Amino acid sequence: MNTRNRPGREAAARPAGDRVPYGLGTPAGVLQTRRRPTPNESAAQPLERLLNPACAVDGGRPCRHPLANAIENAELLAFEKMVKGKFANIVPALKRIASQQYSEGFADRAQKIARDELGFDLPLSILEDAWIAKLDMRALYGVCVLRMIRVIADQTRTSLQSGVDSTSFFLDCGYHAVDISPCSDGRLKGLVRYILRLPSSSVRSRKAYAGAMFDVEANVKRWVETELERYRESRPVSVEAGTRYLKIAVYHWSSSHPDTEGCLAHNSVERRAADAALARLREFRQAIENSFFCGASVDTLLIGVDTDTDAIKVHVPDAQGEISLDRWVSSLDLYQQTVDASANAALVKVYEAINDSVDGAGEVRSTGVSHEGMRRLIATLLINNLSQVEYVCGQWGDRYPDIGHNERFISVGDGFDEFQVRNLAYFVYLHTVEEGAADLDIGVSVFKQLNIRHGLPIPVAIHYRYDRRVPGSRERTVERCRRVKAAIEARYSELCKAGLIVCAMTIQDRLWGSEIEAVDSDAQGGHMALGLREV
């Protein structure tokens, strides 16, 4: 197969000096290099902050891997701090507002605090009623979290539009489409942008399901739509190119608290989570084979994530595409083995580990190594993740401080591309509440511990995308938002009556980087408030 001469490839190419390397095949002179710290600099930091299961050398000095991207790590850290910092400002601002609720001119002072510290106005009706009854802090908290989503989305939407020619990279690996289904757990919310270090627009679909138990029928439908687009429009490449569709499932576990902080949908049992995700992948591939007699045009890949360190292990398929739970390569092991190697030696070690993995034990006898494109993709993911391992180590020491759940809101529907940050949102992908009831129940149970036990409500952001090319799509999406909101309020009626669930609805065009539009839940006759932008 040769995709190098596909139509439009040269037009999409960018100068080498402007291209962000994925980590594979990058010239040694382009790789990020960093000065080793002096003994005094190492001693200036607490030893426990520097310890990392992937790196414990030279008496605890901070590790610097030759393939890790320090510049990208700094950019991602700044973005994460900005996003989480804005949400962290909500409670202190509301405490200041609450302390002044019985003073003269309270509404004006409250609005000034909100504008200065949060960036938007509060609902005037809640503030004006504070002199009659106690200020409704639950409602204010829910409103602030949900409005902060739109504020941050407006600020970050353009920054997520990567110029990297990611389509060419996947095509060179032999894939015209990549579809990822991670677990809904908020600790995987930064999977694409942080853990795997792929451009935000590079993945065709990334719908999250509790326990990575994706809907096989819905995924087959997505495959059909992708293949029809190739046959009708040759996008992104014609059928003659011989490329494949790649489906990835991502499960997770906790290395420090494996019995309590793993996947809630699988009772924190890592093996059970991995086995369930693998079963879904096999069902998906078999469904396409049974229905269209072309299962060979689909590749599958299983990835596990340690949510304590963001290290991954990739289960390498054999020559027939079969995956074994006992056959994998760990980025944590690679980091430890190559941290003091040269860049070229580290690259060689990654490929050797992938090739050697197919000789390991497993319930399915290996038929040899997977094809070159799959190996290149796996190598790139492992190399990219080395930067994330160092990212966690450099900022938090051996592992994240929030080992367990620490999400700010539940995201229902299609999700926000703008919020790819760990532990920010618990994501529930669903068309109807009835279909996604199990996933939604898990999310509510998580927030009962995070919020309700402290008297705070559960913010639920209902967000769906429409296709402006399809007549009536926008109006139908608005109605879907309202139906889902009504179903959530009916399912958790006691919590809603107590003010412990606060919902907001937004829609967005499928076009990448489009504006988020707020749906007015009190509107009549289909009216909708568009593009609300707070100061």
Catalytic residues: 185
SS3 percent helix, strand, coil of the chain, rounded to 5, is 45, 15, 40
Q: Work out the number of other CB atoms within 10 angstroms of the CB of residue 124.
A: 11
Q: Work out the number of other CB atoms within 10 angstroms of the CB of residue 360.
A: 13
* Residues in Cβ contact with 7 at an 8 Å cutoff, skipping those fewer than 6 apart: 234
| Structure tokens, 432 | 């109807």
Contact by Cβ (8 Å): 301, 247: yes
| Structure tokens, 186 | 């908020």
| Structure tokens, 343 | 């860049």
- How many residues in the chain? 535
Contact by Cβ (8 Å): 424, 189: yes
Q: Rounded distance, CA 227 to CA 204, Å?
A: 13
Question: Where in 307-415 does DSSP place strands (E)?
Answer: 311-315, 329-330, 409-413
Contact by Cβ (8 Å): 424, 406: no
Q: Rounded distance, CA 53 to CA 388, Å?
A: 14
Q: Rounded distance, CA 308 to CA 311, Å?
A: 8
Quote the radius of gyration of the chain (alpha carbons, Å).
Answer: 24
Q: Rounded distance, CA 133 to CA 168, Å?
A: 61
Contact by Cβ (8 Å): 355, 369: yes
DSSP string spanning 255-266? SSSTTTSS-GGG
Q: Rounded distance, CA 91 to CA 88, Å?
A: 7
* Residues in Cβ contact with 165 at an 8 Å cutoff, skipping those fewer than 6 apart: 12, 13, 14, 19
Q: Which of 321, 328, 315, 329 is nearest to 383 (CA)?
A: 329
Q: Rounded distance, CA 38 to CA 189, Å?
A: 36
Residue linked to tokens 């679909």: 205
Contact by Cβ (8 Å): 253, 325: no
Question: Coil, strand or helix: which one is 302?
Answer: strand
According to DSSP, the β-strands at 298-306 and 311-315 are antiparallel
Which amino acid is residue 527, in one-letter code? H
Query: For residue 502, with 0-12 CB atoms within 10 Å meaning exposed, 13-18 middle and 19 or more buried, which class applies?
Result: buried
Start-to-end C-alpha separation, the chain: 53
